[in-house]
């Protein structure tokens, strides 16, 4: 066995779980390191507290003198907890989080120093962030970008730094991050939903989008990762024959959590409690070494921040437990990949979940309104939903056998399908008193009962209604939730705005009662949204055919999927809502296309290196052993040696054939890469990588994996799947 592989395995066998003793209740730890409402109430003057509350709830501006007070209280609070630095914490278009720390410490002459933090430092900063991707919005020598405080996401202490969630925008006004468009989308869905709520309840003043994500991940021992350049550099295995035992026995799913993983989870959960991330569930997932965690859902902007923060924290805590967390959507071939379900709903400031059936016919009509409008929004924008979750890594998952397909569809269950059928059959125009009574008694009135025993769940649907929320399941485990959330909230906002216009028109021009108008429009929407509703097996081939008939898009690769982002329709949607302008949209498209290209380029290089410098030399070494063996046999058996050395000689030839194929295809891949690199248009370049370069990965891998089965295990340099995947 190669020394690196041997040492890595040895090291993991000697690991002990790093167990934390917990002597404080989780509820007491919760939010301890967050400058949240209750901390603010304790530390701020009344004026300052009211001002921040207004900023959070109504987006009101905070005056500079008040900002100074807030900054000063924040600083005192942080200093009392041993904090030395502060940072504006943001999410640039790399998808990761970014921070640049500044010390509170400042000199004041005479060799003296103080801790200082004023309103201006809290509210706005200008990081020299010229190296973040900006898709051409901002040349390095032109206007710079600045970060601005987002009071709706509370500041928190991580390690010894006070982190202030911020947006990141260019001086010319364009968003350079994911948070800015998300906040705008949340604002438009809020006002659009409030306007529709007024049909049912005049008291509603605010509607919040909620998000509850479920994060899947793999834990791999850090020594093993160090022995695999592919995992280190690309986050996934580019080579490796599947293990004899994988997930066939279903013995990992919901099984006993391995000791080391458990110790890691507890440590992580404690850290998350302090940071106010309300983690609730943990369990083993389907694949060996795969796990999932989920919090209690929160307001969407906060939930997005918490997920981004969580991924950072997961990485850091993993180091203490000698693990590396793999967020990649498909780290291992042949076993399940990872996703990040985005559970989404809308709720009012009066405490009503608009996607949860209520107790009265009226509240159920409200439920149906939001339910059907969401379905219509997805129906009309399915290709944009696909685009919102497109990435090089998620491509391995979508369309593969175990994950939602690249076709978007909505699952709602038998009972709600029946409800929609009934509504669809209503006569157009004003409803007769009899129809109204029927509706109230038999359709709208029955929904809560129906849902209570609605247990059928379709795990193959990319967008499923699960009782009181929609679950967008096609989101990748590595993704920043801001992208799908910005899209979803925007299309629903647009839909609700259109709905309101149409209903009002019926009320005003056709002299209809409000209920009649609502029913009429919903009925039309049901008819128009049929293509997107699908209750069957989303993984089956039959669905692919059926979806084609329904004219649903099926963009299997990222370049194809991303094209939708810059369509006229997408630009009209975002510009119309004020969520993004054409420049911002184009920039994101360019950046994502570039990201796709870069990832494939890196994978190609790593694979070439592994195949040429690790696998082929090892195979040659083994051939030399075989050759010695054949020579020896020839000496002993002379003329008859061909009979006794038959297997060895065949093996020699097999190995040679694989080596030959590897060499030919690595050369071809390099040529294809060079050709692709010369292409200037981002889409064409990405397409060249996708169609010309990437298919060769599979061919090269195939031959390398075959060699893994032929070559002496003692010589094999790369840690094998069976060694990577079964932690103690």
Nearer to ligand ADP, 149 or 344 (CB): 344
Minimum gap (Å) between residue 239 Cβ and ligand ADP: 32
Neighbours of 282 (CB within 10 A): 16
CB of 307 to Mg ion, least distance (A): 14
Asked if residue 1 lies in contact with residue 227, where contact means CB atoms within 8 angstroms, the answer is: no
* Min separation Cβ 214 and ligand ADP, Å: 5
Query: Quick one: what does residue 601 bind among ligand ADP, Mg ion, none, with the CB cut-off 5 to 8 Å set by partner type?
Result: none
Contact range with Mg ion by CB under 5 A, out of 279-287, 337-345, 491-499, 546-554: 337-345
Residues 6 or more apart from 511 whose CB is under 8 A from it? none
Instruction: Work out whether strand 323-326 and strand 207-221 pair parallel, antiparallel, or are unpaired.
Output: antiparallel
Separation between Cα atoms, residue 688 and residue 597, nearest integer Å:
9
| Partner that binds at residue 415, options Mg ion, ligand ADP, none, CB closer than 5 to 8 Å by kind | none
Strands 161-170 and 85-89: parallel
Contacted entry of Mg ion, ligand ADP, none for residue 212, CB cut-off 5 to 8 Å set by kind? ligand ADP
Min. distance of Cβ 492 from ligand ADP in angstroms?
13
| Residue span binding Mg ion (CB under 5 A) among the ranges 340-348, 514-522, 579-587, 679-687 | 340-348
**What separation in angstroms does the CA of 476 have from each of 59, 184, 218, 391, 565?**
31, 23, 13, 8, 18
Locate all alpha helices (DSSP H) within 14-99, ordered by sequence. 26-29, 37-43, 46-58, 64-79
DSSP class of residue 98 equals B
User: Nearer to ligand ADP by C-beta: 353 or 537?
Assistant: 353
Tokens of 443: 């359709």
Q: Which residues bind ligand ADP (CB under 6 A)?
A: 210, 212, 214, 294-297, 343-345, 353, 466, 468-469
Cβ contact 313:223 at 8 Å: no
Nearest residue to 176 (alpha-carbon basis) of 213, 225, 220, 139: 139
Candidates 41-49, 339-347, 530-538, 628-636; binding stretch for Mg ion (CB under 5 A): 339-347
Assigned token pair, 370: 């939001």
Residue 581 binds what, of ligand ADP, Mg ion, none (CB under 5 to 8 Å, by partner type)? none
The site partner of 620 among Mg ion, ligand ADP, none (C-beta below 5 to 8 Å per kind) is none
Q: Please tell me the distance from the alpha carbon of residue 311 to that of residue 388, in angstroms, as a whole number.
A: 20
Q: What is the DSSP string of 8-36?
A: HHHHHHT----PPP--S-HHHHTTTTB--
List the interface residues with Mg ion, window 652-671 (CB under 5 A). Answer: none
Residue nearest to Mg ion (CB): 341
Give the residue with the Cβ less far from Mg ion, 416 or 693. Answer: 416
**CB 360 → ligand ADP: shortest distance, Å?**
19
**Residue 458 binding partner per list Mg ion, ligand ADP, none, with a CB distance cut-off of 5 to 8 Å that depends on partner kind:** none
Q: Which is nearer to ligand ADP, 61 or 280 (CB)?
A: 280
**Residue with Cβ nearer ligand ADP (166 or 336):** 336
C-beta closer to Mg ion: residue 260 or 340? 340
For helices 482-509 and 514-528, give the axis angle rounded to 10 degrees: 130
Q: Which residue is nearest to ligand ADP (CB)?
A: 212
Q: How far apart are CB 214 and Mg ion at their closest, in Å?
A: 5
Selection from Mg ion, ligand ADP, none that 294 binds (CB < 5 to 8 A by kind) is ligand ADP
> 132 or 297, CB closer to ligand ADP?
297
Near Mg ion in 542-601, by CB under 5 A: none
Q: Which stretch binds Mg ion (CB under 5 A): 42-50, 91-99, 162-170, 336-344?
A: 336-344
199: partner contacted, choices Mg ion, ligand ADP, none (Cβ within 5-8 A by kind): none
CB of 298: closest distance to ligand ADP in angstroms? Answer: 8
Nearest approach, Cβ of residue 459 and ligand ADP (Å): 9
Which residue from 687, 47, 27, 49 is spatially nearest to 296, judged by alpha carbons? 27
CB of 199 to ligand ADP, least distance (A): 21
Min separation Cβ 318 and ligand ADP, Å:
21
Element housing 118 (H / E)? none
Q: What's CA 594's distance to the chain center, in Å? A: 19
Instruction: Find which of Mg ion, ligand ADP, none residue 329 binds, CB within 5 to 8 Å per kind.
Output: none
Compute the CA torsion angle 184, 189, 191, 195 (nearest 10 deg).
160
Nearest-angstrom CA–CA distance, 127 and 570:
31
**Of 208 and 342, which CB lies nearer to Mg ion in the complex structure?**
342
Find the shortest distance in angstroms from Cβ 210 to ligand ADP: 4
Nearest to Mg ion of 179, 341 (CB atom):
341
The one of Mg ion, ligand ADP, none whose footprint includes residue 543, by CB under 5 to 8 A per kind, is none
With CB cut-offs between 5 and 8 Å by kind, which of Mg ion, ligand ADP, none does residue 469 bind?
ligand ADP
Count of residues touching Mg ion (by CB under 5 A): 1
| Nearest of 670, 654, 551, 651 to residue 607 by alpha carbon | 670
Binds Mg ion (CB under 5 A): choice among 88, 330, 341, 694: 341
Which string of DSSP letters, residue by residue, matches 307-357? HHHHHHHHHHHHHHTTEEEE--S-SSTTS---BEEEEEEEEETTS-BTTS-
Cα distance between residue 85 and residue 283, in whole Å:
36
Contacts of 325 (CB under 8 A, 6+ apart): 217, 218, 219, 311, 314, 315, 318
Minimum distance of Mg ion from residue 473's CB (angstroms): 7
Minimum distance of ligand ADP from residue 371's CB (angstroms): 13
Cβ distance to ligand ADP smaller for residue 297 or 697: 297
135 makes contact, choosing from ligand ADP, Mg ion, none, with CB < 5 to 8 Å by partner type, with none
- Dist CA 178 CA 612 (whole Å): 40
Least distance CB 11 / ligand ADP (angstroms): 34
Which entry of Mg ion, ligand ADP, none binds 345, CB below 5 to 8 A by partner kind? ligand ADP
- Containing 148, the helix (H) or strand (E) segment is strand 145-149
- Is the CB of residue 562 less than 8 Å from the CB of residue 581? no
List the single partner that 717 binds among Mg ion, ligand ADP, none, CB under 5 to 8 Å by kind: none
- From 652, 653, 660, 650, select the one nearest 700 (Cα to Cα): 660
Cα 331-334-339 angle, rounded to 5 deg? 50
CB 412 within 8 A of CB 465: yes
- Which lies closer to Mg ion via its Cβ, residue 285 or residue 592? 285
Q: Tokens 């934390």 label which residue?
A: 20
Binding site for Mg ion (CB under 5 A): 341
């Amino acid at each position: 066995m190669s020394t690196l592989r041997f040492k890595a395995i040895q090291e993991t066998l000697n690991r002990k779980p790093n167990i934390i003793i917990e002597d404080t209740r989780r509820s007491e730890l919760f939010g301890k390191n967050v400058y949240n409402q209750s901390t603010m109430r304790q530390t701020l003057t009344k004026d300052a507290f009211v001002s921040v509350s207004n900023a959070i709830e109504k987006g009101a501006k905070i005056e500079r003198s008040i900002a100074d007070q807030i900054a000063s209280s924040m600083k005192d609070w942080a200093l009392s907890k041993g904090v030395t630095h502060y940072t504006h914490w943001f999410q640039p278009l790399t998808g990761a989080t970014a921070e640049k720390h500044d010390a509170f410490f400042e000199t004041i002459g005479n060799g003296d120093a103080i801790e200082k933090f004023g309103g201006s430092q809290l509210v706005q900063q200008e990081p020299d962030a010229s190296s973040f991707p900006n898709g051409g919005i901002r040349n390095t020598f032109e206007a710079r970008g600045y970060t601005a405080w987002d009071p709706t996401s509370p500041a928190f202490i991580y390690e010894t730094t006070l982190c202030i969630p911020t947006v990141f925008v260019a001086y010319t006004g364009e968003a350079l991050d994911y948070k800015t468009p998300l906040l705008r989308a949340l604002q438009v869905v809020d006002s659009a939903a409030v306007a529709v709520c007024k049909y049912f309840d005049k008291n509603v003043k605010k509607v919040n989008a909620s998000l509850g994500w479920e994060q899947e991940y793999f834990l791999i021992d850090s020594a093993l990762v160090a022995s695999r350049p592919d995992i280190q550099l690309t986050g996934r295995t580019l080579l490796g024959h599947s293990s004899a035992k994988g997930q066939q026995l279903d013995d990992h799913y919901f099984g006993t959590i391995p000791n080391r993983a458990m110790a890691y989870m507890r440590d992580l959960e404690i850290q998350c409690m302090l940071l106010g991330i309300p983690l609730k569930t943990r369990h083993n997932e389907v694949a060996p070494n795969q796990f999932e965690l989920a919090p209690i859902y929160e307001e969407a902007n906060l939930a997005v921040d918490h997920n981004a923060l969580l991924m950072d924290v997961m990485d850091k805590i993993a180091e203490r437990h000698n693990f590396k967390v793999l967020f990649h959507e498909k780290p291992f071939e042949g076993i399940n990949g990872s996703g990040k379900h985005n559970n989404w709903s809308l709720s009012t400031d009066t405490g009503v979940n608009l996607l949860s059936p209520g107790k009265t016919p009226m509240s159920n009509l409200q439920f149906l309104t939001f339910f059907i409008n969401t379905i219509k929004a997805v129906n009309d924008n399915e290709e944009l939903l696909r685009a919102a979750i497109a990435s090089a890594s998620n491509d391995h998952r979508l369309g593969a056998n175990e994950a939602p397909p690249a076709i978007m569809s909505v699952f709602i269950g038998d009972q709600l399908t029946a409800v929609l059928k009934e509504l669809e059959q209503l006569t157009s125009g004003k409803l007769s008193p009899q129809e109204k009574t029927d509706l109230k008694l038999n359709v709208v009135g029955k929904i809560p009962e129906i849902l209570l025993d609605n247990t059928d769940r379709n795990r193959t649907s990319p967008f499923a209604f699960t009782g009181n929320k929609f679950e967008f399941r096609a989101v990748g485990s590595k993704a920043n939730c801001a992208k799908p959330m910005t899209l979803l909230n925007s299309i629903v906002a647009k839909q609700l705005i259109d709905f309101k216009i149409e209903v009002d028109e019926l009320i005003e021009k056709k002299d209809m009662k409000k209920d009649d108008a609502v029913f009429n429009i919903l009925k039309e929407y049901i008819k128009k949204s049929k293509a997107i509703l699908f209750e069957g097996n989303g993984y089956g081939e039959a669905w692919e055919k059926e979806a084609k008939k329904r004219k649903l898009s099926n963009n299997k690769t990222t370049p194809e999927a991303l094209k939708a982002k810059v369509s006229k329709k997408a630009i009209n949607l975002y510009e119309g809502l004020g969520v993004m302008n054409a420049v911002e949209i184009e920039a994101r498209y360019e950046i994502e296309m570039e990201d796709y290209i870069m990832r494939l380029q890196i994978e190609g290089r790593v694979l070439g290196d592994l195949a040429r410098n690790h696998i082929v030399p090892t195979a040659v070494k083994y051939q030399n052993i075989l050759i010695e063996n054949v020579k020896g046999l020839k000496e002993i058996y002379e003329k008859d040696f061909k009979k006794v050395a038959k297997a060895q000689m065949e093996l020699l030839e097999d190995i040679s054939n694989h080596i030959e194929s590897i060499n030919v295809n690595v050369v071809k891949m390099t040529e294809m890469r060079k050709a692709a690199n010369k292409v200037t248009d981002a889409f064409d370049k990405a397409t060249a990588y996708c169609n010309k370069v990437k298919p060769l990965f599979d061919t090269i891998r195939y031959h390398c994996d075959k060699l893994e089965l032929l070559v002496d295990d003692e010589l094999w340099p790369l840690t094998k799947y069976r060694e990577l995947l079964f932690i103690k």
